[in-house]
Structure 1
Amino acid sequence: MIRVVVVDDEALVRSGFELILSAADDIEVVATTAGGEAVDAVLRERPDVVLLDIRMPDVDGLTVLRKLRSVPDAPVVAMLTTFDADEYILTALRSGAAGFLLKDTAPDQLAQLIRTLAAGGVVMSPKASRAVWQSHPGAAADDDAGATRVGRLTEREREVLVLIADGLSNADIGTRIHLSAGTVKDHVSAILTKLRVSSRVQAALLAQRAGLLDERNRAESGR
C-alpha cells in the first residue's frame, strides 16, 4: 500500500482528495491535516507521499516543505496549487518538492500520479511547468544556460532525461529502453552532474525548457 498524507487548509479539499484516492486498491490516505499539524502527522504516520498545499493561512507551505525534507526517511512531497503560474512553485521545486499538482487535476488521474511519485518519478504538467518557469524573472537567462548544459549530454543521456521528464522511475526507464536499473542510475547521476542540478524534478524542468519533449513529440508524430 502507498501511504499518503494530504495537507491543506481547506477541509473540503482534504476530504475530496481522501475520497478519490481511497477508491484505489493500492493507496491509503493515512491522515489529512492543516499545515500546522503536518510535520507531526508525517512523523506519526510515516507516509510514502505527502500532498502539500503551497498556500495556507496558518503556516506557509514552503516552510512545511523545508521541515518535511529534514525528517529522517523523508517522504516524497508534491505541492498542491490552484494557479498554474504560482510564483512559489519554482521555489518549492528547487527546495526538494518532487513535483506539483493543480487542485483541479482530473480525479481519474490522481491515483496514477501518486503511484508515479511513490516510484520515484516526477509529476508536472508540461503546460503548467512552462507557466511556472516563465513567471520567474530570470527565465530567459536560465533558458540559455540550461540549453547549453543540455547540449553537453550524450544521446543516451538526453533519451534518459526525456523519460525523467515524463515522470518515469529508474526501473520504468530501464524497462522502456532495455537497460538495467544500475545503468539507468549511473546515467541519472551523470545527467544531474552535467546539468548542475540536485534533483530529478529540476532536471525535468530543464528538459522541458530546452524543448526536448517537444522534439520527441514532433519526431513521434512524424512517423
Structure 2
Amino acid sequence: MTTPADRLEQPRIRVAIVDDEALVRSGFTLILGAADDIEVVVTSDGVGALAAIRAADPQVVLLDIRMPDVDGLHILSKLLEAPQPPVVAMLTTFAADEYIADALRRGASGFILKDTEPQHLGAMVRALAGGAVVLSPKVTKAVVESFLDTVDTGAPELVRRLTDRERDIVVLIADGLSNADIGVRLHVSMGTVKDSVSAIFAKLNVSTRVQAALIAERAGLLRADLP
C-alpha cells in the first residue's frame, strides 16, 4: 500500500497553467497545489507562455484555447514542435467550442472545461501525465461530431485493420487508461502496450490517442456511446 510518505518521495508531476485570466490561473494553482504529487511550476498569460514553459520544462500544460492577445492553438503547435514536448490539454469555457476539433487535429491530448469540479482536476492531470486521454464528458459528443465530420476517416474500414488485441487496447485508450494501466488490465508489459499503440496509430492513420479514440467511437467499437 502506498503511504503519504511514499507519495511525497515520488517525483511530482510538473504542471504549467496558461490562461489570460489571473483568477483562473490562481484557482487552478490552488487546487492542484493541494495535491502531494503535483507541482505547478509556472503560470502565464498567452503573451509570455512559450518562453515561460520552455524555461520551466513541465510535463503537463493546461492551455487556454481562447486568449485575446495570443492564439492558444498557435502556442499548442509551437509546444508540440519540441523534440520532447509536454502533454497539452486545452482549457475551454464552452461545451461546444468550435476550436476544440482543430486543437485535437494539432495534437492536443484532451480538453478540460474550466468549471470542472475541483476534486476531478488532480485525477485529470495524473491521467495526462500517464499518457491517457482526458475528455470532459459534457463536450465529448459534440467534439466527436465536430472532429470527425471534418475528416474523411473511413472509420469502420480503418478499425477492421486492427487485431483483436489492438481493438482491446484502443477501447481502453478511449476509457482514459494510460499505457501502464492497460498493461495491468491485459496482463502484458508496458513495452508491449507501447508497441501496440504505435501499430494502432499507423493503421488508423492518426498521431494521438484522442484521435484514435474518436475513430473507434465513430466505428462503433466502443461498448457504449461516450457520455
TM-score by length of 2: 0.88
Unaligned runs of 5+ in 1: 218-223
Q: CA deviation at 1:215?
A: 4.2
Equivalent in the alignment of 2:189: 180
Per-residue displacement from partner, 1:71-125 (whole Å, max 9, x unpaired)? 3422111000111221111111111111111111111010011001111111113
- Aligned mates of 1:71, 1:198 — CA distance in 2: 15
Question: Helix, strand or coil for the counterpart of 1:213?
Answer: coil
Name which of 140, 143, 149 aligns with 1:139: 149
Name which of 75, 79, 83 aligns with 1:68: 79
Equivalent in the alignment of 2:157: 148
Correspondence 1:18 to 2:37: no
Amino acid paired to 1:176: R
Larger helix proportion, structure 1 or 2?
Answer: 1
Asked if the contact 1:5–1:30 (Cα under 8 Å) also holds between the matched residues in 2, the reply is: yes
Question: Helix, strand or coil for the counterpart of 1:90?
Answer: helix
Q: CA deviation at 1:211?
A: 2.9
1:22-41 superposed matches below 5 A: 22-41=33-52
Asked if the contact 1:85–1:131 (Cα under 8 Å) also holds between the matched residues in 2, the reply is: yes
Correspondence 1:51 to 2:62: yes
Q: CA deviation at 1:127?
A: 4.7
Equivalent in the alignment of 2:114: 103
Equivalent in the alignment of 2:5: none
Name which of 146, 150, 166 aligns with 1:157: 166
- Aligned mates of 1:81, 1:214 — CA distance in 2: 28
Asked if the contact 2:217–2:225 (Cα under 8 Å) also holds between the matched residues in 1, the reply is: no
Amino acid paired to 1:184: V
- The alpha-carbon distance between structure 1 residues 147 and 60, as it changes in their structure 2 partners (threshold 3 A), is same
Query: What percent of counterpart residues are identical?
Result: 63
Equivalent in the alignment of 2:3: none
Question: Helix, strand or coil for the counterpart of 1:159?
Answer: helix
Q: CA deviation at 1:195?
A: 0.7
TM-score by length of 1: 0.90
- Aligned mates of 2:79, 2:123 — CA distance in 1: 23
Unaligned runs of 5+ in 2: 1-11
User: How many residue pairs align between the two structures?
Assistant: 215
Equivalent in the alignment of 1:208: 217
